[in-house]
Each structure stands twice: as structure tokens, then as C-alpha cells.
Chain A
Amino acid sequence: MTLISTLLVSSVILSLPAFASVDSDSSKQDAQQSHQNESHCYVDGLSEQLNCGFITVAENPAKPDGKQIEIHYVVLPGIKNSDHTQAFLAIAGGPGQSAIDNAAGFNRMFSKVRQKRDILLIDQRGTGRSNILNCEGEGFDSALAINEADFDVAEETQACLDKIIDSDVTQYGSLNALNDFEAVRKHLGYQKLHVYGISYGTRMAQLYLRHHPEVLSTVTIDGVVPMQQSVLAIGNAISRAFDLLIKDCNSSSLCGAQFPNLKADLDSVDAKLTIAPVISQVRDPLTGEATQLTMTRAKFMGAIRMALYMPNVRALIPHAISEAAKENYQPIMGLYSLTIDSTGIAMGMHASVICGEDWQRMTAEERESANSTYFGSEMIKTFEQSCAIWNMPAVAADFSAPISSDIPILVLSGELDPATPPSWGELAMEKLTNAQHFIAPYATHGVAHQSCANDLIAELVETGSVKEIDGECLNKDVSRNFYLNASTVEAIPSTEQENQQVKPAAQGASHD
């Protein structure tokens, strides 16, 4: 078992990739970067040749002669690019996701931007190819069978720390990473950047605004974690997203009629699993082998939480809850299996960021508020133990100050976001004088890949001005119908029997 197993309920997961950092005194690093590897390469999901490379930086900027780590980057070259002094930097979330691993998604999302500008992706230190601090170990086989309550966070955290003993985990916070980003920018010779940060990446984008505003042309923050906010307060956002799901289903004529007791079903399963997990024999979702499924509250709530991130998967939740209330945990197991190894979060780096930047600044009040929700209290419990071991120095108090800037900034929030609610976007706006905040009514976490917001970003990058941007297209109804049984999202014809016979129609299935 690994720290990953705790991810479902107790990690912050600001999903998706985007992270950019710049730091003020990177002059020292410049000297060291003299001549570094650059080559053509391919990344997952893209068939074209890209330009890859890395720079070498000191792990600890205070010890320039100490351990060196490589910071890898990929450039998706602009298609009609005459201006090589600008790039569009996309910063991944997590914290702990690799921007390069998500290159295909960024490429699709920002195809318009790429027509004229290079897209720069950097694996933030501790993620992807840049000295990843990964706690993944053996033991995924038992993911279905484990009872998370038996999980000893302290012991696992210590095991993880021992595994990455070569690295000084205290050096993997956002500010050091910002220095790396800025070093990469200088290395590649870009004078100006358009920065896009998603999720945790919005923190990096805001730090860029704070420390290196002179190199920024425009900034987009999508699924915003405002500087004033500890991400550990996410518990309320998750509860809010659960409530919105119930509300959505109830207000839809089809879903409301099919699952009239959704809220009661959710509560009853939750209550039942809180008392004791339900153990059953199942077929492993992937291998088909017989295995034991220990359906715990953590798995149940965690699977639903993760499904809330993706609008298309979200559509299955009411059916899954209703089945669970009838003791059929297959749909929940299906949703759970999606999350087992697909989050791509480097848990070591995740802990470095959260413990240094979010854990210690939580006030007693905030802790109390977080403890009032299931997810919040689980997170508090986990990080209380793991941060004690991780031993990150706290960031300075002014880290939490609101960002003030007059650079054109586009702020994007999804109404249904289970991680960063629109109110957080509002909070980030506090001292931004040249910004617009759009709330996409049908989007969850990461508005740019779920709506026309990527076009708005292209417009911002093209015109360099945020005030004329019209967010009307975000209101177009792109919501999806809820699944009414295990097969359909369309109204079930009345001539059909209520209980549907389900035959698997195995067609090409891909999930993204």
C-alpha cells in the first residue's frame, strides 16, 4: 500500500496539469545552464516531433554546488510562428502532475493559440521527468481489498520519505519551482510569456504575477486557488459539488423521476458504510480475476468525489448511488477503479507543497470548519501525520497576501467544480485591476477543456486585452444527461419494463 491509496479521500487533488514558475534571482542558475541537452522527442498521444530538453539547476538554490536536478521541458512549436520571443506556458495541477504527460490535452485545448505561438510545458520539480518524488510502491493489487481505516499514514509517509532519501523534500515548494520555470524561460530565450495555470497551477501563475510580472503578457487562471486560501479548505467545495449533483438530478425530469430518493440513498449508503465496510467477492475490473472487494466509506465517497471532476463520468453517479443503495456495488467499483492509478500525481511533491504552503497556515477556525465535512476531516487527519514527518518549513506569512496586478488576467471557474468553487475565483479577483471572472455554468474543474473558454483564452492571447472578452458562449448548454440505467442517457420508452435487462455492448471504449 502506498500513499496513493489515501488519495481518494485525503488528498487535495487540484486536478489536471498546468504549472509555471518564475523566480527572481535566477542569474546564478544561468551560469550553470551553459549547454544542455535538446533533442526531438515524442510524447504520449501526439504523433508529431516535439522539441524536448532540460536544464540543470541546484536542488537547493542556497547551495549552488550541491545536488543538481534536471528540469525537463517540451516545446510544442507554434505552427506559423514568426515571433520566437513569446511563448504560451501551460502549468499543470495536482500538485504533482506532469505537464509533459498532459501535452496531448494541452495541444488539443490550445490549438488556436499554437497556430501562432510556441506552447511551453515544463515538468515542475518533483513531477514527471524532473526528479519525480513518487511514493508509488508495490501493492496496487490489493487496492480493492484494502480497508483504508487500517492504513497507517505515518508509517507509509516515512516509507515514502525513506525511498526518496536522496532528495531534500523541503526544496520542492512552489517558490523554488518558480525559479526553475524562469530559468527555463531564459534558457529558451523567450522574453514574454502568456501563462495558463489550471488548478494548483493557478498558484504558480499567481506567484509568477507576484515575482516576475515584467515577463508576463497575459495570464489565465482556471479553477482558481487564490493565494489567500489554503487548499485544505477544499472539503466544503466537495460537499457543495455533492449537493449540486443531487440538485441537478432532482431538477432534471428524467433523472428526478428515475432516482427520486437520491439524497436518501446517498445518506443511507454513507451511514451504512460508516458503521462497517461491506465485503464481497467480485471480479477485478481490469483482470477479471476473483478478488475481494472491501467497500468502505472511503472508497464509496472517494469514487463519487473523483467522478465529479469529469462531466461525462459525473453523469453516471446517480445510477451508481442508487445501485449501491440496492447493495450492488459494481458501478461504484467501476468508478473507483478509474481512480486507482490514473491520477498521475507525484505524492512526494504533493506533500512538499501542501505541507509547506497550506498545512501550517491553517487557523484553528479553518481547521474546525474543515473538520465539519467528511473529506475535510480526513484530509486534516492525514496531513497532520504526514506533514509532521515531511517537516517542511512554512512559507512566509506574506505568501498568503492577495495578488495585485494590472496585467490582463482571465479568471475561470466552473459552477460544478468539486475542488475550486467560483467563490475562490472571486477571492483571487480582490486586487486584480485588469481582470475578468467568468463562471461556466456547466463546467466542473478545468473550464478550458470543457467549454469554449479555450477560445476566450486564444482571444486574450491574440488581443492582449481582457476587457472586451465576451463570455456569452460559456452559457451554451453543454451538460450531459444522467444515466438512467447502466446503458442509456435517453428517456427509457414507456413500453419497456422498468427493470432493464442489460447486455453489454462492447464497442470501442475510450475514456478521457
Chain B
Amino acid sequence: MNKIITMVRKELIDAARDKRSVMAGLYYAIGTPLMMCGMFMLLIGQMSSPEDLNIKIDNADNAPDLIKYLSSQGISHGDSQSTNDEGDKLDVKDIRLVISDDYAAQMAKGMSAEITLIADKSNEKLQNSIRRLERNLQTYSAEMGSLRLIARGIDPRVVQPIKINVEDQATPDSKGGVILGVATMTMIYAVFISGMNLAIDTSAGERERNSLSLLLSHPVSTRSIVLAKVFSVTVFAMLGLLLTLIMSKISYAFVPWQELGFTVNISTDFILLMMLIGLPIAMMAASLQLFVSFMAKTFKEAQSYLTLVLIVPMMLSMAASYNIAPDTLQWLPVSGQQQALIAFIKGREIPMLQLLLSSLTTLIIAAGLTFGMERSLKSEKIVFGL
């Protein structure tokens, strides 16, 4: 055991000297949370309707009261030439409201007066604004309807035969969980990315530098060497994960989630759980990456193989994030753990059996790959990359 620890330390010192490996891990751990935050901020900004919504209103003269009402709700007419008080050009949304010519006449007769809303509903930047406009028009219409009834001596409640009470069981945490679920994918990714360069370097790279045979000739068992390599890559992966989590915790606090009506908070509990659950995944990732790298003949080849091989766990993770086939995925490695994490984020009960089973599978795969590596390192073909 002492030998393994010594060798792990050697591997880590080696790795730390190799700036490229270290930086690769760092780039991801620091960059991804920031990128995610930037993306979310941009999305939130685009999706929310501006406080003062400017649209084009045709025939406004036919319905002055309606126009006044909309304006009191922050919706007013503007054209491309309009400017605001400071002389800046107004941001006029591409939404048109056309008030029919006979609006006032229809109204006066107690009929329905027509308004046409023209907009591209597939434009997500407009969707919130369109919904807001529709909601306001409906409120206005409902209010007029009520008053028309009152004027006829009828209680407006009679046209509301059903009152729907919605009891939403979502908690503030679980609403944010939708976002955080996607974020967990990037965190699991961190486990795979952070150790990858080290894994290649310490296997294919070591062989390329001809130091692998030297190492194997030392009086230590092949198993110890393999375990030391797996552990050191695991340590690197876990460091990357920790850094990602800390960066996420800090940077997510700056995103204006409250504009969406919920908040995303990375709690210390979540960080601890993620580290715990991440450990078997990191070990599997390490052994998988080492195994594949040893199989490759050169450093370059190892890189391209790994990119291909890593697609599998990534697909599992992505499927878990987007809730594809959840019943099957909850038993599989990576996706099983991720679903448990998402359950935790949303404040639901963690599916213990599934979590244990998928973690166990993960460890078995890791052990199997390690054993495979140990055996393959006894073959000259592998050791010398023939």
C-alpha cells in the first residue's frame, strides 16, 4: 500500500509539472460554469418582456380606452422612428395590434369588437411579450364583460362556473432543479475531462517517452503500478470536479434567476453529495481512459480514441438530464447517479437502491478495466506499442 501511495505521489508530481494537463483541467473547471452563467444570463435577458413594451398599434383612435389601459400596463405604440426621453431609439418589438374599423360600433351594441394580433409566435424572443399582450387583452375583455353584466343587474360570478385552484407541489428548489439538472451534466463531464490529459500522458505518453518499460522493470507489481495510475488520475478528476462545483457556486449567484421566479442555489450539501457520488464515476473514468490510452499506439491516437469512447458516458448523462427513458437509465452507471443527484436537487427522495446499484456497477466496471489493464501490461505488444 505504501508503495502505491508513493507512486501516486510520483504520478501527481509528474502531472503537476506537465502544465498542459493541469491547464486542460483548469480550463474546463473554471470556464464551463462561467460559460453556463453567461448563457443563462443571455437567455433570461432575451426571454423576459421589457418593462416598457413597444409594439405597433394600428387604428389606435378607434379604441382610446383600450390604448390607455394597455399603456397603464406598460404596453404602448412605437414606430421605428420613435425615441424615448433621452433621444435613444425605442426598441419596438415586431408585434402588431390591429384594431378593427367597427370596434367602437360593435362595442356600443354590446357585441364583440375585433382586434387582430400579428406576430411570429415561433420567435422565442417575442413569446413572453406576446403572452403578456394576450394576457392584458384578456384581462381587459374580462373586466369589460363583468361590467356589462353588472350594468344589466347580473352578478359577474355567474359566468365563472368553475374556479380552478392550482396547488403546485414544486418547491422553490425544485423549480431551479430543472436548470441545475442540466448543470449536473457539465459537472459529471468535469470528472471525465479533468483527468483525461493526465490519463493519456501517464499511459500512451509515458510509453512514447519510453519510460513505461523502465517503470515496469522496477521491483513493484504491475497491479501496484496500474492502481497508482488509476488513483492519481482519479485524484485529478476529483480536483477538477471540486473546482467546478466551487466555481459554479460562486458564479451562479450572479445570475438573475429571480426574474424567472425561482432561484438556483448550489448548497454545501449538494457539493458534498456530488463529491461522494462522483468518486466511483471518477474511478471508472480514470480506468476507462487509461485502458483506452494503453490500447492506443500513440499519444495522438489515444486522444482520438478517448474522444470517441467518452461519447458513451456523455450520452448517458445527457439522457438523464433531459429525462429520456428515466426508468432504464436509473439503473445504469453515470445516468443512475445523475438521476439521484437531480432527485436530491429537486428535494425528492433519493432512490437509494438505484444509486447503490449504479454506483456498484460503476465500481465493477472500474475494477474490470483495471484488471484488464494489469493483464495487458504483461503483453509486450502493449508495453512497447507494437
Residues of A within 8 A of B (CB): 42, 44, 47-49, 77, 79-81, 115-116, 282-283, 285-286, 288, 312-313, 315-316, 319-320, 329-331, 333-335, 337-338, 476-481, 483-493, 495-496, 500-511
Contact = CB atoms under 8 A, between A and B. Distances in A.
Nearest to A502: B110
B160 A509 contact: yes
Which of B107, B138, B155, B263 has the most chain A CB atoms closer than 10 A to its own CB?
A: B155
B63 interface: yes
A486 B146 contact: no
A286 B155 contact: yes
B217 interface: no
B84 interface: no
Contacts of B145: 505-509
Contact of B148 (A77, A487, A493): A487
Interface in B156-184: 156-160, 165-172
A486 B152 contact: yes
Given A80-B263, A509-B142, A509-B160, A490 B151 contact: no
A47 B172 contact: no
A502 B147 CA distance: 13
B141 interface: yes
Given A79-B172, A330-B151, A510-B160, A490 B167 contact: no
Contacts of B150: 313, 316, 331, 334-335, 337-338
A421 to B, nearest CB: 23
B67 to A, nearest CB: 10
Given A486-B110, A486-B148, A503-B109, 4 more contacts: A316-B147, A334-B154, A509-B142, A509-B148
Nearest to A337: B155
Contact of A476 (B66, B72, B143, B258): B72
A334 B150 CA distance: 4
A488 B172 CA distance: 43
Q: Which of B111, B151, B159 has the most CB of A within 10 A?
A: B151
A47 B108 contact: no
A197 B354 CA distance: 52
Contacts of B152: 330-331, 334, 486, 502, 504
Nearest to B148: A487
Summarize A's interface: helix, strand, loop or mixed. loop
Contacts of B108: 484-485, 487-488, 490, 492-493, 496, 500
Contacts of A479: 68
B151 A483 contact: yes
Interface string B122-153: 00000000000000001001111111111111
A42 B167 contact: yes
B149 A504 contact: yes
A480 B261 contact: no
Nearest to B138: A508
Contacts of A81: 263
B222 interface: no
14 contacts: A79-B257, A312-B147, A334-B150, A337-B150, A476-B71, A478-B68, A483-B151, A487-B110, A504-B148, A504-B154, A508-B159, A509-B142, A509-B143, A510-B160
B155 A338 contact: yes
B69 interface: yes
Contacts of B69: 480
Contact of B151 (A49, A320, A337, A477): A320
Nearest to A333: B153
Contacts of B384: none
Contact of A483 (B103, B147, B167): B147
Nearest to A451: B72
A487 B65 contact: no
A500 B104 CA distance: 13
Contacts of B154: 285, 334, 504
B151 A48 contact: no
A506 B151 contact: no
Given A481-B65, A487-B109, A79 B258 contact: yes
Contacts of B105: 493, 495-496
Contacts of B138: 508
Report the 8 A-B pairs with minimum CB-CB distance, sorted nearest first. Answer: A330-B153, A334-B150, A478-B72, A486-B151, A47-B166, A487-B110, A509-B145, A488-B107
B258 A48 contact: no
Given A508-B142, A509-B160, A493 B258 contact: no
Nearest to A42: B167
Contact of A489 (B144, B165, B167, B261): B144
Contacts of A477: 68
Interface in B183-212: none
A508 B165 CA distance: 17
A505 B65 contact: no
Contacts of B263: 79-81
A79 B157 contact: no
B182 to A, nearest CB: 19
Contacts of A49: 167-171
Contacts of B169: 49
B156 A509 contact: yes
Interface in B253-288: 256-259, 261-263
B75 to A, nearest CB: 13
Nearest to A77: B172
A394 B176 CA distance: 53
Interface in B235-260: 256-259
A334 B109 contact: no
A438 B295 CA distance: 78
A493 B110 contact: no
A501 B110 CA distance: 8
Nearest to A330: B153
B104 A42 contact: no
B298 interface: no
A483 B160 CA distance: 23
Contact of A285 (B63, B142, B153, B166): B153
A331 B66 CA distance: 22
Among B63, B69, B144, B153, max chain A CB count under 10 A is at B153
B64 interface: yes
A116 B263 CA distance: 10
A24 to B, nearest CB: 35
Contacts of B143: 312, 509-511
Interface in B52-96: 62-66, 68-69, 71-72
Contact of A286 (B107, B158, B171): B158
Nearest to B141: A507
B153 A283 contact: yes
A427 B47 CA distance: 46
B153 A331 contact: yes
Given A480-B68, A486-B110, A490-B63, A316 B149 contact: no
Contact of A506 (B157, B159, B166, B257): B159
Contacts of B116: none
A299 B324 CA distance: 63
Contact of B104 (A490, A502, A508): A490
A371 to B, nearest CB: 32
B110 A500 contact: yes
Contact of B170 (A48, A79, A319): A48
A77 B265 CA distance: 15
A282 B172 contact: no
B352 to A, nearest CB: 24
B157 A286 contact: yes
Contact of A47 (B146, B157, B158, B167): B167
A241 B109 CA distance: 30
Contacts of B167: 42, 47, 49
